Amino acid sequence: MPKRRKAADLENGAGEKLEQKLWRMADTLRGSMDAAEYKHVVLGLIFLKYISDVFEEHRKTLEATPYADPEDPDEYRAANVFWVPPEARWEQIRQNARQPTIGQIVDKAMEAVERDNPSLKNVLPKDYARPALDKKRLGQLIDLISNIPVGNGDARSQDVLGRIYEYFLGQFASAEGKKGGEFYTPRSVVQLLVEMLEPFQGRVYDPCCGSAGMFVQSVKFLEAHATGNGNGGRARSRISIYGQELNYTTWRLAKMNLAIRGIDGQIKQGDTFRNDEFPDLKADYILANPPFNMKAWGGEELREDKRWRFGVPPVRNANFAWVQHIIHHLAPTGYAGFVLANGSLSSNQSGEGEIRKNIVEADLVDCIVALPDKLFYSTQIPVSLWFLARDKSGKPPVGQKKNLRDRRGEVLFIDARRMGRMVDRVHRELTDEEIQKIARTYHAWRGEEEAGPYEDVPGFCKSATLEEIRQHGYVLTPGRYVGAVVEDEDDEPFDEKMHRLTAELREQMAEARRLEEAIWRNLEELGYGQNG
């Protein structure tokens, strides 16, 4: 039997990380199975291995404790450990990995775990016995996962499972392309949103939470900043998590993703627009990556909805429905950070320009960040981050003692389109240094002393007044405000220059198409169709 790796042994001799090695080995077992199906097969098994590891470690503690009963489920629940019934323990699974009935054995294990742990009801995958799943490959996958400690103390302290889970979600999103990218927000984008908002305390809400990446990163941020003042153990209790996800299978991923990290949260499954599960929630922090330019969102049924304070959103595009839903759920001193397609910054069709104007005039927009292209798996086009603030007068956000400066009548624009590094042929990510630079710029502009003084940087950032935004017709594209980069043109490498110009051309062509479509729609409404 192969030697078990220690949790601390994160790289092999070639420098390959554990999660990368596991993915490479697991992916070879996928065969002809679609990535969307295999995702649930492998992540379900990893989850089962994790809760079994944690269970066995606590069991040993109980065996060494006088008067404790290692077979009493309440002994485990009292320690916030999932009770794993005998038929679901990993050793039982491993011993039967080569049996032709292994599919049924895993299904029964999942059913038993759900039966004895109500919080996991209807969450775990239970279709391992289906004929389409090659049982030989399933057994090989179980053998592979058996050799990786994910739930013992060492592994938990290093978040081995969390890293594997996050890496696998990203790899599956890449393998599934546009469809898979809908449930996954790239780590660097989530990290940037969290670093800018700093959700230290309060109610954190995501109305389209996907696989719960926003919540995981929020807790990571909280624990990293609490450790320095000795509050690491109490950090999680400082925030309350609320999320909703439409896609049922993605909702299950979110529940598992939080469960493996011991994060409590109210994660509801359902349609956020038609059936808002938190109608009375006023959140201190909202983080979201709504589906881009969503067409079928129920706009025809919701024309009179109370959420549309700034204008009724277009029936065929949910961008400003999401924006207004988020505003509706913001607390009086709440902050929101979310991703939107770039068209929302400048579109004037179907009343979007008027809605954007009303939001700007209400002085809710705090900051706009233009991101580079190729960050997302679901689209190659560039997108932007919107940051809204209910109160820009200088009151500190919830959970923060520092006073901010009065920013009423001002908006910060950051152009980060030239940032990021290519991680493969088609995907880019922001580096940690770039994330800190953007976040520090925003914090300095807000008046946070530790971030240092703020100043406009041509080509990168500009603090604009509402009057300047009015002069630009309420277009919020950062490039209109930050100006040109002050540099010798020869300093820019040819490849980077061509990539930048191509991205800008693509963006301009997309805007031209949008305008052309709007013109044709207007002509058709007047009775002059394309065949007229």
Q: What is the DSSP string of 170-226?
A: HHHHHHHTHHHHTT---HHHHHHHHHHH---SEEEEETT-TTSHHHHHHHHHHHHHH
Least trusted range by pLDDT, from 255-269, 331-345, 459-473, 478-492: 478-492
Residue bearing the bigger pLDDT, 220 or 176: 220
Instruction: Work out the average pLDDT over 81-109.
Output: 96
Q: Mean pLDDT highest for which of 259-263, 451-455, 499-503?
A: 451-455
Indicate the helix (H) or strand (E) that contains 432: helix 432-446
The Cα–Cα gap between 167 and 171 comes to 6
Helices (H), 90-186: 90-95, 102-116, 135-146, 153-157, 160-176, 178-181
Residue bearing the bigger pLDDT, 28 or 390: 390
- pLDDT of 159 reads 64
Residue 416 clears pLDDT 90, i.e. is over it: yes
Residue bearing the bigger pLDDT, 38 or 327: 327
Residue 462 clears pLDDT 50, i.e. is over it: yes
Least trusted range by pLDDT, from 54-58, 63-67, 233-237, 299-303: 233-237
The Cα–Cα gap between 404 and 397 comes to 9
Quick one: pLDDT band at residue 7, thresholds 50, 70, 90? very low
Quick one: pLDDT band at residue 378, thresholds 50, 70, 90? low
pLDDT, averaged across the chain: 86
Q: Mean pLDDT highest for which of 2-11, 72-81, 464-473, 523-532?
A: 464-473
Residue 296 clears pLDDT 80, i.e. is over it: yes
Whether this model's pTM surpasses 0.85: no
> How much of the chain, in percent, has pLDDT values that exceed 70?
87
Instruction: Work out the average pLDDT over 274-297.
Output: 94
Residue 15 clears pLDDT 90, i.e. is over it: no
Instruction: Work out the average pLDDT over 412-433.
Output: 90
Residue bearing the bigger pLDDT, 517 or 348: 348
Residue 84 clears pLDDT 60, i.e. is over it: yes
Start-to-end CA distance of the chain, whole Å, equals: 76
